Amino acid sequence: MRALPSVRSALALACVIVLEAAGAAAQEKPRYGGVLTWFDYGDPGRLDVHAESPLVVQQATAGVYSGLIQYDPDDPSKIVPDLAERWTVSPDGRTYTFHLRKGVKWHDGQPFSAADVKASFDRILNPDFKSPKCGAALKPMVASVEAIGPSTVQFRLKFAAAPFLGNVASSWCRVAAKHILEKYGDLNTPEAQIGTGPFRFKRYERGNLIEWEKNKDYFVRGLPYLDGVRQYILVGGPTQLAAAKAGRIMLWDAWPPMKRTQAEELQRARTDVDIYQASINTIFLLYMNAQKPPFGNPDLRRAVSLALDRQELVAKALEGAGVPCALLDPKLVGDFALPLEEVQKLPGCRQPKDADLAEAKKLVEKHHPSGLDIEVAVRTVGNYVDRAQLVLAQLRKVGIRASLKSYESAAGYAAFGKGDFTLIAAQDRSMDTPDPESLFSVIYSTNAGSNYGRWSDPKVDELAERALKEPSRDKRKQLYWELQRHIFAGAPAAVPVAWVEGWFFRDRKVMGYKPALTTYDNNTFMKVWLRE
Amino acid sequence: MRGALSGLGRFAARQPLGAVGAVLVLILIATAMLAPRLAPHGPKEAAFAPYLPPSAEFPLGTDQIGRDVLSRVIWGARLSLYVGLASVVFGVTLGWLWGVVSAYVGGVADTASQRVVDALMALPPIILALSLMAALGQSVNNVILALTILLTPTASRTLRSLALSIRESPYVEAARAVGCPTWRVIALHVLPNTFATYIVLVTVNVSYAIVVEASLSFLGLGAPPDEPSWGAMLTAGTQAMEPAPWMFMFPGLAISLTVFGLNLLGDAVRDLTDPHLRGGLG
- pLDDT tens profile A61-97: 999 999 999 999 999 889 999 999 999 999 999 999 9
Tens digit of pLDDT for each residue in A212-265? Answer: 999 999 999 999 999 999 999 998 888 999 999 999 999 999 999 998 889 999
- pLDDT over 60 at B279, yes or no: no
Task: Report yes or no: B135 at the A interface, CB cutoff 8 Å.
Answer: no
* B-chain residues near A235 (CB < 8 A): none
* A-chain residues near B220 (CB < 8 A): 380, 406
Q: List, as ranges, residues 382-411 from A with C-beta within 8 Å of B.
A: 385-386, 388-390, 392-393, 396, 403-406
A389:B242 CB<8 A: no
- pLDDT over 80 at A307, yes or no: yes
Tens digit of pLDDT for each residue in B174-206? Answer: 998 898 898 999 999 899 989 988 988 888 899
Task: Report yes or no: B238 at the A interface, CB cutoff 8 Å.
Answer: yes
CA A259 to chain centre: 19
pLDDT value, residue A20? 52
Q: Give the mean pLDDT of chain A.
A: 93
Task: Report yes or no: B245 at the A interface, CB cutoff 8 Å.
Answer: no
Q: Which long-range contacts (CB under 8 A, 24 or more apart) does A367-372 make?
A: A367/A294, A367/A297, A367/A299, A367/A300, A368/A294, A368/A399, A371/A399, A371/A400, A371/A401, A372/A294, A372/A300, A372/A399, A372/A400, A372/A401
Q: List, as ranges, residues 31-50 from B with C-beta within 8 Å of A.
A: 44-47, 50
B243:A264 CB<8 A: yes
**Shortest CB distance from B239 goes to which of A237, A268, A403?**
A237
Candidates B68, B44, B46; CA nearest to B57 is: B68
Across the range A373-379, mean pLDDT stands at 96
**A38 to chain B nearest CA, in Å?**
20
End-to-end CA distance of chain A: 28
Q: List, as ranges, residues 470-499 from A with C-beta within 8 Å of B.
A: none
> Phi and psi at residue A34, in whole multiples of 5°?
90, 160
Q: Crossing angle for the helix pair B107-122 and B69-105, nearest 10 degrees? A: 150
The Cα–Cα gap between A285 and A487 comes to 14
* A-chain residues near B64 (CB < 8 A): 316, 386
The Cα–Cα gap between A480 and B35 comes to 52
Candidates A337, A307, A366, A245; CA nearest to A497 is: A307
B220:A380 CB<8 A: yes
pLDDT value, residue B1? 63
Candidates A412, A470, A384; CA nearest to A53 is: A412
Task: Report yes or no: B252 at the A interface, CB cutoff 8 Å.
Answer: no
* A60 in Cβ contact with A210 (< 8 Å): yes
**Shortest CB distance from B46 goes to which of A237, A393, A403?**
A393
pLDDT value, residue B118? 92
pLDDT value, residue A16? 47
Across the range A398-427, mean pLDDT stands at 93
Tens digit of pLDDT for each residue in B102-136? Answer: 999 989 999 999 999 999 899 888 888 888 888 88
* A-chain residues near B71 (CB < 8 A): none
Search chain B and give the residue with CA nearest A387.
B65
- Output the CA torsion A476→A482→A484→A488 (10° steps): 180
Tens digit of pLDDT for each residue in A34-52? Answer: 999 999 999 998 999 999 9
* B-chain residues near A238 (CB < 8 A): 238-239, 241
SS3 call for A487: helix
**Shortest CB distance from B65 goes to which of A265, A316, A404?**
A316
How many residue pairs bridge chain A and chain B with CB atoms within 8 Å of each other?
56
Contacts of A113 (CB under 8 A, 6+ apart): A100, A147, A150, A151
* A-chain residues near B232 (CB < 8 A): none
A404:B226 CB<8 A: yes
* Range with the poorest average pLDDT among A295-299, A364-368, B220-224, B259-263: B220-224
Residue of higher predicted confidence among A333 and B12: A333
Residue A10 banded pLDDT, cuts 50, 70, 90: very low
pTM above 0.90, yes or no: no
* B214 in Cβ contact with B229 (< 8 Å): yes
**Shortest CB distance from B239 goes to which of A238, A319, A403?**
A238
Search chain B and give the residue with CA nearest A376.
B224
Half-sphere exposure of A428 (CA within 13 A, CB side): 28
Residue A521 DSSP label: S
The Cα–Cα gap between B42 and A243 comes to 36
* B-chain residues near A319 (CB < 8 A): 50
Across the range A145-174, mean pLDDT stands at 95
Contacts of A344 (CB under 8 A, 6+ apart): A324, A325, A350, A351
Residue B95 banded pLDDT, cuts 50, 70, 90: very high
- Output the CA torsion A462→A464→A469→A475 (10° steps): 100
The Cα–Cα gap between B109 and B189 comes to 21
- Percent of chain A beyond pLDDT 70? 95
Residue A9 banded pLDDT, cuts 50, 70, 90: very low
pLDDT value, residue B134? 85
- pLDDT over 50 at A8, yes or no: no
The DSSP bridge partners found for residue A232 are: A39, A209
Provide the residue count of chain A: 532
Task: Report yes or no: A412 at the B interface, CB cutoff 8 Å.
Answer: no
The Cα–Cα gap between A403 and B23 comes to 35
Cα–Cα distance list, B28 to B22, B74, B80, B226, B259 (Å)? 10, 9, 9, 21, 10
- pLDDT over 70 at A24, yes or no: no
Cα–Cα distance list, B184 to A136, A237, B155, B189, B198 (Å)? 72, 59, 22, 8, 19
Cα–Cα distance list, A58 to A55, A179, B123 (Å)? 5, 22, 38
Cα–Cα distance list, A102 to A106, A147, A177, A220, A442 (Å)? 12, 14, 15, 12, 34
* Range with the poorest average pLDDT among A61-65, A165-169, A236-240, A523-527: A236-240
The Cα–Cα gap between A35 and A210 comes to 12
The Cα–Cα gap between B43 and B70 comes to 9
End-to-end CA distance of chain B: 16
